[in-house]
Structure formats: structure tokens, C-alpha cells
Structure 1
Amino acid sequence: MTTKKENAKRLGIYLLIVFAFMLFYILCAKLMHHSNTVYYIIYMIFSFSPAIASLITRAVTKEGFRDMKLHLHLTGNIRYYLLAFGLPLIFFSARILLPIIVSGHSNWLGVFTVQDAVASVFMLAALSVVQSIGLLGEELGWRGYMNQKMEPLFGTVGTCLFGGVVWSLWHLPMDLAGWLDGEDTFSDTLMTCGGRMLLLTCFGTFLMWLTKKTDSVFPAVVAHFMYNESQGAVMSLLAQGNIPENTSLPLWTDVMRYLPLLVIAVIFMILLLKNKKKEIKTL
């Protein structure tokens, strides 16, 4: 059985490597700004850095490469794959549309049709089969490795919170790009980083639950893809609506944007804790 000391050592090495890649990304920011080719190469290396870090850590610590959760486990788990696809779409739709409806601007959605919505869903489904595999570079590291090392050390709640913060910090080079390039103000960048930290911490709870229920990283890969793409799909539909130019929603509606993900976090935190109790009873 792996001791807490061994888990802490492996987690420390993994995080050290991941954040070394982050520093590399920051140092290459100017080169990336002046060359699309350089940008693409470094961005791809950075995107796969969590997976690379997990593989290096496994090799250095002689942990081996078993239990990497690289199996689909479709039998008995189709419902989790459907949930991985559908839940982010439903909740991000609510996150975008709820403030519009509550603030009395439901007329903006007047040109929405069922055909448009169905076509968008089928397009996302088709893309998820092909494009989501690229996110394996993240999920193999975050859910497939980091969370597994954190849970014996910090417990379920601590892993969701601390893991969400780490995942958010890893995105900082991308969040700071606009400010470093002089396109965004520092205050706007801080708001972006704060919002991202809250979103990733909440959503990471769902991804962790999916991985534990299926013992596979692939449902988390699908959900991660939908996290990235469903917002754009909803916004493209919204762009077809009757939205007047130079209009904005009241500031108080910003709170509404975070309610759906907070609901996700609470529900799946409860489910994770229940699952933990069952595991303890079976020991």
C-alpha cells in the first residue's frame, strides 16, 4: 500500500514539473506573440504538460505505468458518458441564458428554433469524438494522476478545492496573455483569473466524480471538451437573436452566471463524500 509520504513525494514532483512547463510558457510569451508557428508548437507542448508530467513522475519514482485509467470502460458506464456530454451543455446554457431571462430580455431569444439547437448539439457530438482526445493531455495528468495522489493527503473536499486552485493557476499564462500584450487592463485580468479559479474549482468536482465512478479519464475528457465548447455553441446561437447593439445586462446578473456551477459543485461534492463513505465501509 502506498504511504502518505510516497504520495506527497510523487505529488510534489508532478507539480514541480507541471509548473516548470508553465514558467517555460511564460518565458516564451514574446516569441509566441511574433510567430504563429512558435505559438502553436509551445501551446501544444504546454497543453500536454500535465500528461507529460505524470509520465515523468511515474518513471522517476519507479511507480510504473499501471492504473493510468486509459480504458473506456463503456460497459455499465454509458450513462456517465452521456452525463459528461450533456451536463456541461445544460449548465453553461443556463449560465448564459438565465441572466438574460431574469433581467427581462427574453425577447432576445426570439429567433431560437428547435432545429438550430438540435443541429448545434449534433455538431458538438461529432466534434467531441474527434477533438476531445486532445484534452487527454490534461486529464491524464489532472484527474488521472494528481487527484489520485491528493485524495489520501487532503481528503475529498481538500482535493476538490486544492486541485481546482492548482488547475486554475496552471491556466495563468493564458489568462495573463491579454494584459502582457497590453490589450487588457490589470483589473480586468484579475477578474478573469478570479472567475476562472471559481469555475475550474467547481467544475473540477464534477470531473473528479466522473473519474471515480468510471475508473477512466475518458468521461472527464468528454466533459472537459464540452466545458470548452458548449459556451461558444450557445453564444453562436445567441448571436442570431434580436440583441440590440451597445447593450449590456445589469451588473447584478453576474451573480446568476455562477449559480449553475455552484450547484454542480455542491451536488457532486455530496456524491463524492457518499462514495467515500461506501469505500470506507467496504475496507
Structure 2
Amino acid sequence: MKYIRIYLFFSFSLTWLMWVIINNFEFPDYLSSILMIASVYIPAITVWVMKIFNKEDEITIVSLEPDVKKNIKWYLIAWIVPVIFTLLGALLYYSIFKNDFDLTFGRLQNEIINKTGQPSDTPITAANIKILSAILINPFINTFLCLGEEMGWRGFLFPNLVKHVSRIKTHILAGVIWGLWHIPLTIVGHNYGLEYFGYPWSGVLTLCIFTIAAGIFLSWITENSSTIWPAALAHSTINSMGKIPYLFLSTANPSNRLFGPAITGLISSLPMVILASVLIIKEKQLKN
């Protein structure tokens, strides 16, 4: 447990320090981006430094060898499942909050107006470009950014924590730790905004529910592929798809982001929670 405590101390303290600096001081956009990229690599850097200075070889780290040919199935699962479950979550949210659904892409038009000063004559085309980019391009580009986190959570924390507690407790603890790591971002409105009941702690709790469920899925593909890259791809796809459900959100109604429509919402995360539950049941059946 010693190395787990070291990992958690440095991953939390250094990342939180950088986020507090980024959120409270004004930097040029390019410098803020560089600092944010550096901050999400702190979990990976912490693991690498511990491995370098650890002479007893007590640390388990998942392989960085992509082995694409052998694991093509898991790369496809890592890419396709987050897309499907983001859309399922949005569908569930809009089936409950029907008045929130809008096919005129008003929010996208407002975004275009803010950038260009005038509305688009082809909002459907602009929406399609965003959707296709989120599915086909961005996940693969941003995989390298998500690798920094995944080297920490799935590459180090899960396989080392499971040595000390049961698998189900490991899933829950690893998911909660991952969610709590995001507290500074949740406080400044990331994922849920600033105006919701119980701010910010209900947002922290909601995110932890999602990170437990998503973490189970990411750990499952990591263990089956024996490499960290599919988890990084899945993580990247989740992030990439995050804004797509908002394309259909009406401007006439205030967004209740704590419930959805993004996959991190209480309602829209339910399909991922169900998937995670199925994976846990399968794990138990295999043990028996």
C-alpha cells in the first residue's frame, strides 16, 4: 500500500495545485492549454518516477506496448462502446425531458454567432461535422492526452489496489478516487456547471457514480487486452462525445446538467451503470 499512498499524494496534490493556478491566474490560451496537458500527465509521471526509484519491483504497471494486431477487438470495443452508450444516455434523458429536445440546433447557432458574428445558413451541416469529428477523428487524436490519466488509474492504481482488497471494493475505490481527483474542475463548473441543487458536492457525488461505472468498463478492457492503450482510447472517446448530446438541447429551457444529457449525468449515465453491473456479474460468475 505504500506505493499507492505515494501515488495518490503526488497525483492529487500536484494536479490540484496546477488546476488552482490555471483557474485563478490569467495565462495566454496556448500556455493554459500546455499547463492543462501537463496536469493530466501527472498521474503517469508519478508512476514512472516511482518505478525508476523502486528497486524491489513491487509495482505492477500495465504494458505500454499497443499490440494493435493482437488486440484489434478491444480497440474496437474501446472506440464503439462509448459512442453507443453516450447516445443511449442522451436518448434516455430526452425521452424523460422531452421539452429539452430541439432539432433546430439553437445552441450550436449561438456558438457560431459568438465566434463569427453571424448565424450559419447550414446548422445541420455544422452539427454533422461536429458529430463525425467526435466519432471518427477526435478520439484517436486525444488518446495521447488520456494516456496520462490511464497510466495512473488503470495502469497502476487498479492492478496494485486489487492486491490488497476484493475486486468489487477495488472497482468502487478506484472509481471514487478517480472522481474525487476531478474536484477542482467540478467546483469551477466542469461537467455540471455552477447552478444545480447541492452544488458542488452533489456534482462530485454524481461524477463518482459515473467514474465507478466507466472505470469498471475501462478496467475490463485493460485486463483483457493487457495494454493501457484501449483504455486511453475509450477515455478519449468518452471525452470526445461529451458535447454531442448538447447539440440537441433546447435554448428555451435551462440545462439541468446534473441529470444529463451528457453521459456524466445521473440519468444519462444509467446505460453505462447497467453495463458495469453486467461486467461485475460476469466477473463473479467466472470466479464461481
TM-score tier by shorter-chain length is 0.7 to 0.9
Structure-1 residue corresponding to 2:18? 25
Structure-1 residue corresponding to 2:210? 199
**Partners in 1 of 2:189 and 2:84 — Cα distance?**
29
Instruction: Kindly report which structure 2 residues correspond to 1:164-183, keeping only aligned pairs within 5 A, or say none.
Output: 164-178=175-189
**Partners in 1 of 2:208 and 2:99 — Cα distance?**
29
Instruction: Kindly report which structure 2 residues correspond to 1:120-269, keeping only aligned pairs within 5 A, or say none.
Output: 120-121=131-132, 123-178=134-189, 187-236=198-247, 238=248, 243=250, 245-246=252-253, 256-269=267-280
Answer whether contact 2:138 2:240 (CA < 8 A) is retained. no
Structure-2 residue corresponding to 1:3? none
Q: In the alignment, which of 72, 77, 84 is matched to residue 83 of structure 1?
A: 77
- Greater helix share, 1 or 2? 1
Q: 1:209 to 1:141 in 2, by over 3 A?
A: same
Give the percent of matched residue pairs that are identical in Structure 1 and Structure 2. 22
The alignment's C-alpha RMSD in Å is 3.5
1:42 to 2:53 alignment: no
Cα deviations across residues 73-130 of structure 1 (Å, max 9, x unaligned)? 22342222111111111111121221222455597459999xx769834652222222
Answer whether contact 1:95 1:260 (CA < 8 A) is retained. yes
Structure-1 residue corresponding to 2:2? 9
> How many corresponding residue pairs?
261
SS at match of 2:227: coil
SS at match of 2:172: helix
Cα deviations across residues 44-76 of structure 1 (Å, max 9, x unaligned)? 221101101101111232239985411122234
Cα deviations across residues 221-279 of structure 1 (Å, max 9, x unaligned)? 1110111111212323x25xxx4623678x9997632321210220122234455x38x
Q: 1:75 to 1:177 in 2, by over 3 A?
A: same
Q: In the alignment, which of 42, 45, 54 is matched to residue 52 of structure 1?
A: 45
More deviation in 213-222 or 64-73? 64-73
1:72 to 2:66 alignment: yes
Instruction: Kindly report which structure 2 residues correspond to 1:108-123, keeping only aligned pairs within 5 A, or say none.
Output: 108=102, 120-121=131-132, 123=134
Return 5+ residue gaps in structure 1 as ranges: 1-7, 279-283
Answer whether contact 2:150 2:231 (CA < 8 A) is retained. yes
Answer whether contact 2:19 2:36 (CA < 8 A) is retained. no
Q: CA deviation at 1:155?
A: 2.0
Answer whether contact 1:151 1:159 (CA < 8 A) is retained. yes
Aligned letter for 2:90? Answer: I
Q: 1:266 to 1:117 in 2, by over 3 A?
A: farther
Return 5+ residue gaps in structure 2 as ranges: 106-122
Answer whether contact 2:83 2:135 (CA < 8 A) is retained. no
TM-score, structure 1 length as denominator? 0.78
1:98 to 2:105 alignment: no
